Amino acid sequence: MSGATVFRLPDLGEGLTEAEIIEWKVSVGDAVAVDQAVVEVETAKAAVEVPSPVAGTVTRLYSEAGAVVDVGAPLLAVDATGDGERERYREEERAGSGNVLVGYGTSTARRSRRAAGRAARAPRPAAGEAPRVISPVVRRLAADNGVDVGAITPSGPGAVVLRRDVEAAIAASRPPEPPGPAGARPDEEGVVRVPLRGVRRAAADKLSRSRREIPDASTWVDVDATALVRLRKDIERADPAARVGMLALFARICVAGLRRFPELNSYVDTRRQEIVQMPRVHLGFAAQTDRGLVVPVVRDAQAMTLAELAAGLRRRADEAREGRAAPEDLTGGTFTLNNYGVFGVDGSTPIINHPEAAMLGVGRIVEKPWAFKGKVRLRKVAQLSLTFDHRVCDGGVAGGFLRFVADCAERPELLVTRL
């Protein structure tokens, strides 16, 4: 192995320091080409492929599937086909190009080309053909639980078996178990220990940092959302294909509110002791997935129509829940919208998504007695709460923004007159 090139786990970006090996795509003795995917890893952001930076023969795999590898630790050794290959890799490593995870930094375009090539080469399932499993995470989940994917009815496009299909098969084949965290089993004394890693570890670190660094405060108000609910129904009748939901309507209101109160579309640069106001709105929204709570980001929301914003929210939510979200689509938000009403609750005081300055929460919309035009009537009422960084603004700005959102929810026509 004296002539072998040792390839290490590249810098993952976004503060990520480790990854779990999901599946090796090569074995010792295999020939590999430049940019050929050699291993699938899962970070706290997404499952991604690592390409080989050199062509040659694999001489060693340093870790087994399931191992957690730190950035900079050896992944595999490749006996390059020539000195030129080894020198090119050393130059790229020193320059910081090429030797990065697919989906990060300079490899984004390369990932897109490779994904397009795989899609073009992928055979289409014929009638009667066994369903396909594309995700290695889904494949491993099925294998670990003794599930025959050939017996599963796939719900994904092109007869692809998705994670929810495997989980449904597992649930159907097992007797009921005492409730407990996914993937964890009680010990002899009934104690459950759940490893804090992946998405949950990243979320824990970020939330802890938010609590340490951001002096947050919350304010809230009840709103009569009857007119907003009626507007959604009117849009649905006029254009069913638009699929504009309440989340999209509140997102549109938030974007308009941030134009009037730009202090909340900012973050605090603690190193330079500056408040940095951002000119564009990269709107994050909380999404519950099988891997935990993530915050997909719709970029340049301020430039989108309502229909475009609704489509962007749906696309990012689908990608996150199916594990297809690229790392860059889960970071870089400037303001977060949290619709916790889907859990059937009225209010919350959420932790700000560090390093952002504010988060708007929307509770469930339910019928309640409400004073309307001099009479008490049943109206569609919701609670809105705003948690904000008190360093970037005072209660006047926060209250002004929340009142703007509430007024637009109660009288959506104000969106036209106040823009």
Report helix, strand or coil for 385. strand
Which amino acid, one-letter code, is at 396?
G
Q: pLDDT band at 308, cuts 50/70/90? A: very high
Instruction: Report which of 254, 186, 263 is spatially closest to residue 408, judged by C-alpha positions.
Output: 254
50, 73, 322 from 11: Cα distances, Å: 11, 10, 25
Tokens of 390: 């008190």
Q: How far apart are CA 194 and CA 186, in angstroms?
A: 10
Query: How many beta carbons lie within 10 A of that of residue 324, not counting itself?
Result: 13
Which of the following is catalytic: 113, 390, 395, 413?
A: 390
More confident residue, 42 or 317: 317
Per-residue pLDDT tens over the stretch 66-89: 788 888 899 999 998 655 555 555
Q: What is the mean pLDDT of residues 53-65?
A: 90
Q: All domains of the chain, ordered by start, with CATH?
A: 4-120 (2.40.50.100), 136-173 (4.10.320.10), 199-417 (3.30.559.10)
Q: Is 282 known to be catalytic?
A: no
More confident residue, 299 or 34: 299
| Portion of the chain with pLDDT greater than 90, in percent | 48
Q: What is the mean pLDDT of residues 261-279?
A: 96
Instruction: Report which of 194, 262, 223, 177 is spatially closest to residue 366, judged by C-alpha positions.
Output: 223
Per-residue pLDDT tens over the stretch 110-145: 444 344 444 433 444 455 555 667 666 677 788 878
Q: What is the mean pLDDT of residues 6-24?
A: 80
**pTM of the predicted structure, to 2 decimals:** 0.63
Per-residue pLDDT tens over the stretch 326-357: 888 989 999 999 999 989 999 888 899 999 99
Is residue 316 within 8 Å of 324, Cβ to Cβ?
A: no
